[in-house]
Amino acid sequence: MNYFLTEEQQMIKDLAAKIATEKAAPLVAELDEKEEFPWEVMKTLASSDLFGVYLPEEYGGFGGGVFELCLVTEELSKVCCGMGVCYAASALGTLPILLFGSDAQKQKYLPDIAAGKKLAAFGLTEANAGSDAAAVATTATRESDFYVLNGTKQWITNAGEAEVYTVIALTDKTKGVRGASAFIVEKGTPGFSFGKKEKKMGIRCSATRELIFQDCRIPKENIISREGMGFIVAMKTLDRARPGVASQGVGLAQGALDHAVKYSRERVQFGQAISSFQAIQHMLADMATQTEAARALTYAAARMIDAGKDDISKEAAMSKLFATDICMKVTTDAVQIFGGYGYMREYPVEKMMRDAKILQIYEGTNQIQRNVIGLTLIKEMAKKK
Amino acid sequence: MNIIVCIKQVPDTGSVKINPETNTLIRTGVPSIINPFDMNAVEAGLALRDGNGGKVSVITMGPPQAEEALRETMAMGVDNAYLLSDRAFAGADTLATSYTLSMAIRLIIDFDLILCGKQAIDGDTAQVGPELAEILGIPQVTNVSRLIEVKDTTLIVEQELEDGCKIIEVERPCLITVTKEVNKPRLPSLKNSMRAKKAEIPIWGANDINADEARLGLKGSATQVVKIFEPLKRTDSRMLKGDVEEMVTELVAELRKRVTR
């Protein structure tokens, strides 16, 4: 389908596809097996300027938005969803600074992030604060010119690999979510350490660790926006990042579909290629239609955000929900078309199905996305009356 | 360090076929790529520039669509590109090609180094680099697999030989042809791609480079391609197996059978 990309957007997409096929693809199986961070691919993305596609030109970026971020994420995820999330999670960690940071904070952090010299990460989730993000227990206590952080963030993507962390912590425990604030914490700050690397089902080349804060003192200038704004910073950040997760789903689904179409023309049973059977054709047709529909919804949501609309929660949630549910289905069907071979690690679709599952879980489970959509519908109706 | 890299656009040989009736290459539908060894030459130029300053200029002789190849190198970070394109250049063999390139290079700038791929994957002659150095009267080192050091007035390189390698110190300006071992070509960057898209690429014809018409194109070619053909597949070959002694014994026996006098 033609999405009428601008010349610049097409260039971004082509370049990302080139890196994905030439640099990333040969490493996919090995990095999954070894659970090793794709630094070589990240460095190539950096030298090709792709970490800056969504950042303003004044900070060394390309001046694009969420849409450009989606294009790169999709192309990477076609080849490896794990690499896609390493890239996209850095943007997730950067968005709080971009959206709510002071000029000084932007000057200090964005140029290095745009150049790909530093990765970023976002720390919200805790052991007892998953879908119930308001239950965070990490605290930030003001002491003269510092905030002192204590607590543990869990399952943080890019943790240990990133240099810049945006973290949500309570500055006033008595106020609940209104007592949360967002902070920038740099790797290497005394009192800030990482837990062991988690062993995951999929996206195994990406790094997932705990962020551990033990009397970690950070300058008071590192607060993003002001005290009490943490939850708003987090929610607005997640709204803008959701089409990025959707793009992982679109890319991964497309990658699995491409493998399935190719395999179906090679695999001979009953004396003919299995692609000649309608049972297979119909499966492929559904997979392709659903993937395209997911892409269209994702692009529409991203473009709506970039156009500057304020109420984007519903559409962002829809794109994430639909694209990642579709991705789970399409990757599962791809394994089905491969049959027994599909279940084997020697073939690529087994990993794709494992990778797909997390997309329905992280950055808001798909149940939470439905909550967001449902509540918005009710609010919209209530406003009309 | 000012560097000139000569590149050639070639058919992607992985997908080339020969028409058995006319014995010519079937070019339709075959994508063009930059000769892979020339990509190594471009990368070598960029790396030397990045380490020592200066500019990298890329030059090619070819049809108007060769401009695409030049833009591709600019997207990798090449500073300037020049296209030599003129009907008068058509049908050039390696001699006429290197003459044409030499005339353009005299126009460009003071250069410290010319880089070429060791050969093109279509013609496989490996002649243009050496001929160009001869015409320009500068020293040359072919088949360079490693650039070791840049000194004040010289360059130290490693030349790949069939049974080893040679370390050579060469006076600049000079011409180097490189093998694929010399480096891994970088991918384009977004900023350079944008620049490449907008860049003005001068197209020079015979008059622009003050060339002697008699030395250009088919007229200026000392060689002619008489016939292109696909070599017959030998089906009567047999691989000998076993240890050396067994294989030699068998080979000698086979040869003896075939001795005719």
One digit per residue, pLDDT tens: chain A, 385 residues?
999 999 999 999 999 999 999 999 999 999 999 999 999 999 999 999 999 999 999 999 999 999 999 999 999 999 999 999 999 999 999 999 999 999 999 999 999 999 999 999 999 999 999 999 889 999 999 999 999 999 999 999 999 999 999 999 999 999 988 999 999 999 999 999 999 999 999 999 999 999 999 999 999 999 999 999 999 999 999 999 999 999 999 999 999 999 999 999 999 999 999 999 999 999 999 999 999 999 999 999 999 999 999 899 999 999 999 999 999 999 999 999 999 999 999 999 999 999 999 999 999 999 999 999 999 999 999 998 7
* Whole-number Å distance between alpha carbons of B159 and B178: 9
Is B233 part of a structural domain of the chain? no
Is B258 part of a structural domain of the chain? no
Among all residues of chain A, which has the CA nearest to that of B192?
A48
pLDDT of residue A135: 93
Subunit contact A22:B193, Cβ cutoff 8 A: no
Subunit contact A15:B194, Cβ cutoff 8 A: no
Three-state SS sequence of A305-357: HHCCCCCCHHHHHHHHHHHHHHHHHHHHHHHHHHHHHHHCCCCHHHHHHHHHH
Which secondary structure element, helix H or strand E, spans residue B94, and what is its range?
helix B94-108
Subunit contact B187:A8, Cβ cutoff 8 A: no
State the best of A7, A42, A44, A48 to mutate against chain B, taking most chain B CBs within 10 Å. Answer: A48
* Chain A residues in contact with chain B using a Cβ-Cβ cutoff of 8 Å: 7-8, 11-12, 15, 18-19, 22-23, 44, 47-50, 52-53, 62
Which class is domain A121-230?
mainly beta
Among all residues of chain A, which has the CA nearest to that of B193?
A11
DSSP E strands in A64-207: the ranges are 120-123, 139-143, 146-157, 164-170, 180-186, 192-194
- Comparing B209 with B122, which gets the higher pLDDT? B209
Question: Using CB atoms, which residue from A15, A23, A53 is nearest to B188?
Answer: A15
Question: Using CB atoms, which residue from A7, A8, A18 is nearest to B187?
Answer: A18
CATH number of the domain bearing residue B89: 3.40.50.620
Is B238 part of a structural domain of the chain? no
Is B139 part of a structural domain of the chain? yes
DSSP per-residue codes, B169-195: EEESSEEEEE-GGG--PPPP-HHHHHH
Question: Using CB atoms, which residue from A7, A8, A49 is nearest to B189?
Answer: A49
Question: Using CB atoms, which residue from B186, B193, B197 is nearest to A47?
Answer: B186
Q: Are strands A120-123 and A146-157 parallel, antiparallel or unpaired?
A: unpaired
* Whole-number Å distance between alpha carbons of A34 and A40: 15
Residue B18 scores a pLDDT above 90: no
In Å, how far is B194's CA from the nearest CA of chain A? Answer: 8
ipTM > 0.85 for the complex = no
* Whole-number Å distance between alpha carbons of B139 and B133: 6
* Whole-number Å distance between alpha carbons of A199 and A36: 11
C-beta separation of B52 from B1 below 8 A: yes
- Comparing B19 with B82, which gets the higher pLDDT? B82
Can you give the residue range of the structural domain that contains B209? 3-215
Residue in the block written with tokens 């791929």: B117
> How would residue B157 be classed by pLDDT, with cut points 50, 70 and 90?
very high
In Å, how far is A341's CA from the nearest CA of chain B? Answer: 29
pLDDT of residue B261: 64
Percent of chain B having pLDDT more than 70? 97
Subunit contact B190:A44, Cβ cutoff 8 A: no
Subunit contact A50:B197, Cβ cutoff 8 A: no
pLDDT of residue A269: 97
Residue in the block written with tokens 């090709």: A48
Domain tally for chain B? 1
Residue B187 scores a pLDDT above 90: yes
Considering only CA atoms, which of B191, B197, B187 is closest in space to residue B76?
B187
Considering only CA atoms, which of A114, A238, A242 is closest in space to residue A166?
A238
Residue B23 scores a pLDDT above 90: no
Which class is domain A235-380?
mainly alpha
Question: Using CB atoms, which residue from A48, A52, A62 is nearest to B187?
Answer: A48
Q: Please indicate if any CB of chain A lies within 8 Å of the CB of B190.
A: yes
Is B132 part of a structural domain of the chain? yes
Domains A7-119 and A235-380 agree in fold: no
Q: Please indicate if any CB of chain A lies within 8 Å of the CB of B193.
A: yes
Among all residues of chain A, which has the CA nearest to that of B191?
A49
Subunit contact A15:B191, Cβ cutoff 8 A: no
> How would residue B16 be classed by pLDDT, with cut points 50, 70 and 90?
confident
Subunit contact A15:B187, Cβ cutoff 8 A: yes
Among all residues of chain B, which has the CA nearest to that of A47?
B189
pLDDT of residue B213: 93
In Å, how far is A82's CA from the nearest CA of chain B? Answer: 21
Burial B211-230 (b: 16+ CB within 10 A, else e): beeebbbeebbeeeeeeeee
Which secondary structure element, helix H or strand E, spans residue B6, and what is its range?
strand B3-7
pTM recorded for the entire structure? 0.88
pLDDT of residue B169: 97
pLDDT of residue B15: 73
Is B251 part of a structural domain of the chain? no
* Ramachandran angles phi, psi of A327, nearest 5°: -60, -40
CATH code for the structural domain at A7-119: 1.10.540.10
Residues of A in contact with B197 (CB under 8 A): 7, 11
Among all residues of chain B, which has the CA nearest to that of A50?
B190
Domain boundary assignment for chain A: 7-119, 121-230, 235-380
Active site residues of A: 363
Subunit contact B191:A49, Cβ cutoff 8 A: yes
